[in-house]
Amino acid sequence: MASKQETLTSEKRNKTIASVILTIICIIWVLPIVSVVINSFKKNTFVKTETFALPNAQSAAGWSNFIKGMTFGNYPFMAAVANSVIITVLSTFLILFFCSMAAWYIARVNSKFCKILYYLCIFSMVVPFQMVMFTLSKTADTLQLNTPFTIPIVYLGFGAGLAIFMFVGFVKSIPIEIEEAASIDGCGPIRTFFRVVLPMLKPTLISVGILEVMWVWNDYLLPYLVLDINKYRTIPIHIQYLKGSYGTVDLGATMALILLSIIPVIVFYLALQKYIIKGVAAGAVKG
């Protein structure tokens, strides 16, 4: 009896310690976002000197930081928002559409070509972007992939590795008998994929979609290297150009635009977060 009581006490103590550690990690993780929210409503001078202090009567800037950030410079902020939306939506659609079909083919066709293709996709996940960025920039200019409507093709190449890895794992967990039954009923490969396989891929589709949206929306380096920034700017690039004379930066306006840029992603993530664990767990299944 005493031994059982000691075991329960030990388990309770371990859970308490784990809860404290995870709480500290969460606070550290959320602190930068809290700092952005606080400083977006403070004057530039006080952002530098009282970074973690709450706004008061002397330091509060109200909504002036947001107005200044959205009207600063010659490039319209709403144009940058539109470019980010176009790039994010098109890139995510291309990744989900083509990678899901490619993953189904790789998972069902047992050939050396498919195995090599699969391992190449996995290998692409570990290749640092810095190794290919200069060659990529030149190639994108040559092929005229330097507009918001064409850069999603570049994102398709970089996002295919993770997407195919997750889709292949999920497809392998789907019983092949379901597709054989559809074939017996007269469904061809294309109809089988769109009528049978694709609906069952919903958890992984949503999970991959969330991850890709968060990546593309917040990406700075790839659009900066590929796009003609005199004509097209995304939100991260627009924020980078919030500079006055002699390179001075209005941190209050910068924080305000950063807050505006992260709100859509946070809302999108919170609305669909329940699908992430399902999709990741399903995509990790090995057949």
Query: Residues 108, 10: one domain?
Result: no
**Structural domain range at position 83:** 77-244+258-283
**How many helices and strands in the chain, by DSSP H and E?**
15, 0
- Per-residue pLDDT of 218-244, as tens digits, reads 999 899 989 988 889 999 998 888 765
The type of residue at 262 is I
Query: Residues 12, 54: one domain?
Result: yes
Query: Residues 90, 208: one domain?
Result: yes
- Segment 24-32 shows an average pLDDT of 89
Q: For residues 82 and 210, is the Cβ–Cβ distance under 8 A? A: no
What total of structural domains would you count in the chain?
Answer: 2
Q: For residues 207 and 276, is the Cβ–Cβ distance under 8 A? A: yes
Q: Which tokens in the block code for residue 134?
A: 């200069």
Burial call 48-60: b when 16+ CB within 10 Å, e when fewer? eebeeeebeeebe
Kindly indicate the confidence band of residue 280, based on its pLDDT and cuts at 50, 70 and 90.
low
Domain end marker among 37, 66, 95: 66
Q: What are phi and psi of 78, to 5 degrees?
A: -65, -30
Within a domain: 250: no
- How many degrees, rounded to 5, is the angle at CA 240 between CA 237 and CA 243? 135
Q: Which is more confident, 183 or 93? A: 93
Query: Residues 7, 141: one domain?
Result: no
Looking at the chain, the whole-number percentage of residues with pLDDT higher than 90 is 21
Element (H, E) at 7: helix 2-39
- Per-residue pLDDT of 185-201, as tens digits, reads 888 888 888 888 888 88
Helix (H, G, I), strand (E, B) or coil at 52: coil
CATH number at residue 164: 1.10.3720.10
In eight-state DSSP terms, residue 75 is: S
Query: Residues 49, 30: one domain?
Result: yes
Q: For residues 191 and 200, is the Cβ–Cβ distance under 8 A? A: no
In eight-state DSSP terms, residue 131 is: G
Q: For residues 167 and 208, is the Cβ–Cβ distance under 8 A? A: yes
- For residue 234, the model assigns a pLDDT of 92
Identify the sign of the CA torsion 277, 283, 286, 287.
positive
First to last CA, the chain: 45
- For residue 3, the model assigns a pLDDT of 64
- Segment 132-146 shows an average pLDDT of 86
The type of residue at 98 is F
- How many degrees, rounded to 5, is the angle at CA 88 between CA 87 and CA 92? 115
**What is the residue-averaged pLDDT of the chain?**
85
CB pairs under 8 A, 24+ apart, for 139-146? 140/225, 140/226, 141/226, 145/226, 146/226, 146/227, 146/228, 146/232
Residues constituting the chain: 287
Query: Residues 86, 196: one domain?
Result: yes
